C-alpha cells in the first residue's frame, strides 16, 4: 500500500492520479501517490473497498518504486 494525498508536492516522489487512472469512480480531488511512503497492512483491517486503479497505473507505481530502489 502507498500513501495517496491531495497535496501536490511537485517532486519526483509524487505520481499524479488522473480520472483515467481509475476503474470506476475517480477520487473527488486531484490526488497524488507518494511513491516513497510504502505501508504494510493486514487485510483483516480493511473494512470495504472505495475504488480501484487500472492495471496500467499499478504498473507505473511499481516501476517508480523499482526506480527508487535501483
* pLDDT for position 34: 95
Contact 57, 17 (CB under 8 A): yes
Convert the pLDDT of each residue in 5-58 to its tens digit: 999 988 989 999 998 899 888 888 889 999 999 999 898 988 988 788 999 999
Q: What is the pTM of this model?
A: 0.82
Q: Would you report the helix, strand and coil content of the chain in percent, each value rounded to 5?
A: 30, 30, 40
Q: For the chain, which residues make up each domain, given as ranges?
A: 2-69
CATH classification for the domain delimited by 2-69, as one of 3.40.50.300, 3.40.50.2300, 1.50.10.20, 2.30.30.110? 2.30.30.110
Query: In the Cβ-directed half-sphere of 8, how many Cα atoms lie within 13 Å?
Result: 5
Amino acid at each position: 500500500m502507498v500513501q495517496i494525498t491531495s497535496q501536490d508536492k511537485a517532486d519526483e516522489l509524487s505520481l499524479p492520479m488522473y480520472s483515467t487512472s481509475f476503474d470506476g469512480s475517480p477520487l473527488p480531488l486531484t490526488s497524488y501517490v507518494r511513491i516513497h511512503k510504502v505501508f504494510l497492512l493486514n487485510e483483516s483491517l480493511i473494512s470495504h473497498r472505495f475504488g480501484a486503479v487500472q492495471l496500467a497505473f499499478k504498473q507505473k507505481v511499481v516501476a517508480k518504486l523499482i526506480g527508487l530502489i535501483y
